[in-house]
Structure 1
Amino acid sequence: MANIKAIATLFFTLTIFSYLSPKASSLTPEQEKQTLLQLKNFWRNPTSLQSWKDNKKSSTTAHCNWFGITCSSDGFITNISLPNQNIYGPIPDSLCNLTNLTHINLYNNSISGQFPKSLYNCSNLEYLNLGQNYLVGTIPSDINRISSSLVYLSLEANNFSGDIPPGIGQLPNIQSLILNNNLFNGSFPAELGQLSSLQTLWLAYNPFTPATIPQEFGKLKNLRFLWMTKANLVGNIPDSFSKLSALQHLDLSINNLTGVLPSEFGKHSKLWEFDVSNNRISGELPAGLCAGGTLTSVVAFNNNLTGRLPDSLNHCVTLDNIQVYNNKLTGDVPSRMWSAMNLTTVMMHDNQLSGTLPEKLPWNISRLQIANNRFSGKIPSTAGNLQVFEAANNQFSGEIPGNLSSFSRLQTLSLRGNQISGGIPGSISALRFVNILDLSDNHLSGEIPAGIGSLPSLTKLDLSGNELTGEIPQKMSELKLTFLNLSSNQLSGEVPAGLRSGAYDESFLANPGLCSPSTVLNLRACGGQSAGKNHTSVALILSFVFGGLALLGTALFAIRVIRDYKRRIDRIDLGPWKLTSFHSLDFTEERILKGLTEENLIGSGGGGQVYKIVLRAGEIVAVKKIRNSKKLDSRRENEFQAKVQILGTIRQANIVKLIACISNGVSKLLVYEYMHNKSLDRWLHAKHRSESRENVKLDWPTRLSIAIGAAKGLCYMHNDCNPAVVHSDVKSSNILLDDEFGAKIADFGLARMLVNANEPESVSIVAGSIGYMAPECGYTRKVNEKVDVYGFGVVLLELTTGREARDGGDEGSLADWAWQHFQDSNQLIDGIIDDEIKNPAYVHEIETVFKLGILCTGKTPSMRPTMKQVLQVLEMARFRSITRIGPDRDFLLYSRT
């Protein structure tokens, strides 16, 4: 019996081996189909390959129509493309039995094991992408045995270590070599310079042993894109780089490069992106950077650069992005640089630069940071798309522009430490999106305009060190500020009741005329001379009272008339309403329209108004009304409708259900399921708790459960929707909670799409909110799902620290604060974790989620995990399958920068 079992086992093993081993002869189309079925079984039948079924009645080439498969005209498989399909396990030897195979793409799966040498048998292979997997070990020294036809090889984002072998320099036709984001801790060979056809070389984010860039790289005449960020480079950039005549994109950032930049750089190629930031480079920027007439981006911050900005920038009409802050640059900024119509980002702060700004900034510019320089002249009068304007500690003079409506998109305005005079214009109320307003240490005079109190997004206000007079406007009590400083002015009168808080006890110093009946402020008590001024005759008081009542009655009547008129206008809008439903409905559009009253308004913001409407059957819905000033063009309308159709068909527990869309000429009503516990930020942050049903604090198990639920929703959108949906505005206020505190993702950019409908594409495509916005949103228009990972990482930091996204103190954002604190802290919990959840039973879980938040907020998108990986870590944390999980400290320190 034992012998029979042994023979049976041997027979079974040989049978399996015959399936998975390469065969010397080519296969028929029918045999190739069977090979695919064996491949499916080998990979444990992933759901994405369910269409791979053997139908005996189908033709012998039916497999050519299977998902991810492409065949030649005679029915032989040439292409297997299965990226992002949750495939687990190694690559079987049988894959290269498909002898006509030219294209293999298994990007972003869970492929494991070492580099499969069996791929050497794919003799016709031209394209191989095994990036974003779990491959380990070294690249074989005989890698040159792979197909000589290979033009594309990607092994990025795996766990390869050791050296990059010299043999890789013997791939005669390779055009793209993608090896970034691995664990190579040895060397990279000078033999790479032999790859005469090479166009793309990515070696970034590898902990190589310190090395200089080989002179031989200057022989790469066809090289267009060289990326060696965080590759432990030292020494000089070789002079031979000036000879790279095809070079378009150079990124050598975050290294230890020293000496000066090659003087001929940019003169002999059509250079369009240049990044040498975070090095120790000295000397001047090359004079001919823009000589090719194609330069879009100059990034050289955090170096020791001296001298002037090159005069060639005067003629660089293609310039989009210039970041040269934290250097020692001097002289006037080339004046005609400001005429570059594509200019969106200028970051020159912390230098010794001088010059003036044009009266009208480029229409496209969104970020202008020039603090701590020597700029002078007047503040520009027009900047239609500017979002960040930081010009502190310069020599600007004159007055603040009187018409600030042209700055209506500003989120940060800092003019601290200049010589600006005059008053604060009443048009300051036009800055509806401003979060930070700092006009301190200037020569401003006059009264504080009441319009400041109507800025809905303002969280930080600093008007200290000026010559402001008069009383503090009562309307400022309505602001929800995290920081206020009105000290060192000439303000008088009583501090408004809403500002008499211990949080502002240092906010009013050095204003001798100010007083407060509250003892929490460091001010004199109101009374005496100021009180005597209020003693008026009874008759005069009565006359004011009766006169006021008469005026109030008239005003209320007028308000009612105006309100009724406005309701009729809102009801009519520009045409008939059209209802598109995604679920069975027991209401009509008329029922929804009647519910759009002030009594039902529960929220308002830049994206529109939100109403809570109770239907006849007792069901409650949330209705978001978005009104645009103009009718959408056909392309925008089609984009909006396409996204609504996708979201309307989703049936996933962690995504807020879109029930219907009601629209007419310029308005959209999005009807959602109502979430009784509203948004996460209302429960998480103390200043919002008074708006919640109870002053309830979320314990750690609840917070972790919320994180897991939200991650599931984002995973679904990224991986299970076709096409995939990028949220683009992940934040705690867009994570809603049901009765059981189950998390659901809401507001997938629909409001943003409509509000920005009539703006240029380059503006409207910028995604995210301050504090949650990924860094790449500030310098590129090409973003992907990693912007959602960044926003979700900030939410994880909120859940673990209790801080808000913009609550980073001197570091600015929470993400930067957490990173800095983590760098400096020996014991992680101290000073970081929210006191409300400190519990020895959950220490390891909280640390893991905090570190995961740091990893998710990495500066570079490729260093962030996918939402699928984030969810896996969170679920392991909940079930505590291992004692400590998540990235180790060294990896986080490495990846976050």
Structure 2
Amino acid sequence: MQVFSLKRLFLFLSLLSFLFSLTSAQYQTLSPSQTKLLIRLYHILQSPQALSPLNTTTNFCYLPQSPNLTITCSNNQVTELIVVGDRPFSSNWRNALSASFSIDAFFTTLVRLSSLEVLSLVSLGMWGPLTSKIDRLNSLRVLNLSSNHIYGDIPKEISTMTSLQNLVLSNNYMNGTVPNLKPLTGLAELDLGFNRLGPDFPSLSNSIVKLVLKNNSLTKLPQNLAKSLSMVEKLDLSFNKLSGWVPSSLFSLPSIKYLDLSHNKLTGQLPETLTCSNSISFVDISNNMLSGTLPSCIVSNSSNRVVDFSWNCLNMVDMRYQHPNSYCNEGALAAVLPPPNDITTSKKSSTSLIVGIVGGVLGCVAIIALIVGIVLKKAKKQGRFEDGSVFKPKKGKSVAKSSRTPVDKRHATQAARLGAMEVTPYRIFTIEELEEATNNFDHSNLIKNSAQGQFYKGWLQDGTTVVVRCLKLKQKYFSQNLAQYMDIISKLRHRHLVSIIGHCTSDDQDSINTPTMVYLVTEYVCNGTLRSHLTEWRKREMLKWPQRVTAAIGVARGVQFLHNVSVPGITGNDINADNVFLDHTLTAKVGNFNLPKLPSNKNHKGASESSISLFEENIHGSIRNIEQGQKEDIYQLGLILLEVLTGKPAQSKNQLDSVKSLLQKGLNEGQEKLKGIVDPTICGTFAMDSLRTVVELTLNCLTENARDRPSIDDVLWNLQYSVQVQEGWASSGNLSVQL
């Protein structure tokens, strides 16, 4: 009996000792110096909610973990610090910390936590350049500073942090060239998306598993890129400015599962012999300028693979979702075959390639010579060339004068430069062609008669439906001045504009060299306006949330193009939901935008010295300067966003102020309040964070002080961020709406 009691006592003491050791191992206390450092960081970050309430008596190592805060300790030192705040990236810096914040002071304090291995500081409103002091945290395995307002270059010292395995700096304002990251031989994840980095592609070690560089300014893919991506599983290079050929080796990377090259300017054909990795399950090459036939390996195993190849110039696919070949010809003319660095060929195939290239060049020369001969012969029959460039017809009222002929090489260069253009090549029409198209401008074809001109519906000989806009000049202009002006007009073509595809000028019979009428030929968009798709639910397809944000992005891109197409830009436009048209693919196109002003004949007797507009000023009055015009366009864009959110336009200033107040209240009081304000037809189709981003952007665009409104680039950034959040929500098993 006594032996049994001693055995029980021994077991009890052993259990007690084990529990004590376990508790001691789990229960860490920080050194006083480390505690003071955390308190100081808390104050420098202006008391973020995730760290409240903390004081010197708080046992940081024993705080319960949460989605917003994790602190892990070892040997009385902080080894892991994860903080997620409530100040995400905002285009107008609304969520940034106040001017008293010092990023240098913050990192000077932070690097004294020298045992840190995991550092994640997300949505804390930090702003300023990332300091080179970051390399003092040489034990870091994970560095995540995403969704802040950090700007400037990525410091080159980051290349010395050889312990890094995960580097995430996405959703900031960082720019410039990414430093050489080859020394980071253990780096598995690199996410630099949604910055302004470029133009050079970063140098990487071959340890990368996840590489996200979307929404930056990268311009070219290295042809030997695959050598450094032998372990990559996810590669996202979408929404950059990448041009040239697609390295076919990217599709056959041994571990690749996710490949996104969409929304770039990639050209050429993918080889028919392209091989695809068995592991690849997602491929997006949409919205590029690829031509030819889609390789069979991409579309095979379609039940186990998501593939998007829309909006290229591919053959043997559904042409409703492809551009015409002319869209890609300029960029893809020299990109029919993959580059030599990307294929392995024998001596025989190399010889064949050389022969093919020589033959192709000779063929092109012959074709060009033939075209030139035909043009010259036709010119000789109909009239003559004046000053070597301006063509004069033999007879008729029509005066088709320009600083270049329709086949001018500069036109092709300009078309290639406008990567988003989705219209037919620009051309000069004769008045006879337009009379035939409109049945002599018959009243039955009159669409609109306003101060901005008469608008006629017409049909060209090839069956294309167009709109002919007739503008009467307010004074007479020399042909040379008008030709220069029409050259500017010819550049107003973009996928998200109701684009001008040609023009014609005509004159009085009394004065053949001074045109009095200008006819602008624009594309005809037949699927209704954005407003009709938001309000006329009995007639139109009602747009769900993803479709609405996509349309808003299209409007913003059209406005961005207008602001940058010329110097000064085209601003102060009449942008509203009735002037935004949707085509059969629901692509948004801005119509009724302003035209540049036509300079008057300064040396012409009796002519005014001031610039004369071809159109009456719009209803918003004159624009004092270009900056005011840009900010006015942002305000109009805000009204469109408000209509996208609520499904109806604001009818008065009082109603507008009331809706703005409700939206602000919804942001402050929570998602249920916000859901009660937005259009009920989109309920269940949006991610709350996606909706909140657009609501915040809308209020910023509609702020009374024009200086506080975001730039058009910031508007685009936020809308694209909203889409990214929406896609993440949909891919997590929530409701997804097919665009």
Structure 2 length normalisation: TM-score?
Answer: 0.42
Higher relative contact order (CA 8 A, sep 6+): 2
